[in-house]
Amino acid sequence: MSPPPDDLGPATEMYRHRADTLVDDRGDGPALVLSHGTLMDRTMFRPQQDALADDYRVVAYDNRARTDNWRGPYDLDDLTDDCRTLLDALGVDSCVLGGMSMGGFMALRFALRYPDSLDGLVLIDSMAQPHPEADRERYGGMVDRAKAADELPPDLAEVVAHILFGPTTNEEHPELVDAWKNRWLTYPGEAVHDEVHSWLNRPGVVDRLDEIDVPTLVVHGAEDLSIDPEYGESMADAIPDARFVEVPGAGHSSNVENPEVVNDALREFLDEVY
């Protein structure tokens, strides 16, 4: 569970003292803050920063697993408090908060916990339901292997590449996939294990989606093999002021795989919010 707000602990202290090394903060104007998914890092949002930083302050940051404070256990409530601490450290009173996959799981909880800090919400290849039991067993077994091996085994990185990237990207842009696979191989196995377990057995928030009262953009890759696009579409249907954009030729990392479509949707959305 989360530590109390007045004692956020050493993991969130890193945002107070090391924001310059854990955060890419570009541009001026209204803020778009972006939280990455499992095995990814803040650099996955460079296409969005490149496209939007002329008009908006686009902040991308590393979650615990990509920092020196990667040891768990921690959960989505802790990551939510980390995000709150980051906003305070950067002097961001309110923002559009975006999250990809795990980042979206966190962003949903942030919207319910800190609604006064949000101008809007962006959910990329994410969902409000808990993962099905079969997926929990599969992913749990995979990260147990990584922890036992002290690092992500190469054959497991190959499997993950087909979970986090769609068939089109794997076939047409192998250099992009290989660059991420090489990065994954540098991660401590325990960091990957604890990162996955921060969300693996989370309860769903489907029954609370009608409480989200800010404009919401739901973006989902048409080829997402990790979280079916139907999850994203149903989430958009349940949030009072939400729209759904399906990204062609993209899988679970749609903002990296087909950034032009995602950037266009983000710009239109931000222009309306602000």
Statement: residue 262 has pLDDT above 80? yes
- Report domain 9-132+203-273's class: alpha beta
Residue 14 pLDDT more than 60? no
Q: Which helix (H) or strand (E) holds 124?
A: strand 118-124
- Please report which helix (H) or strand (E) contains residue 121, including its range: strand 118-124
Domain residue ranges of the chain, discontinuous segments joined by +? 9-132+203-273
Strands (E), 139-274: 216-221, 242-247
Give residue-wise pLDDT tens across range 43-58.
999 999 999 999 999 9
Q: Out of 47-51, 132-136, 169-173, pick the least confident.
A: 132-136
b/e map of 107-118 (b: 16 or more CB within 10 Å)? Answer: bbbbbeebeebb
Cα 216–Cα 222–Cα 227 angle in degrees, nearest 5: 75
Task: Quickly state the pLDDT bin for 21 (edges 50, 70, 90).
Answer: low
| Prediction pTM value | 0.92
Q: What is the pLDDT of residues 66-110, one digit of tens each?
A: 998 898 899 999 999 999 999 999 999 999 999 999 999 999 999
Distance CA 255, CA 125 (A): 9
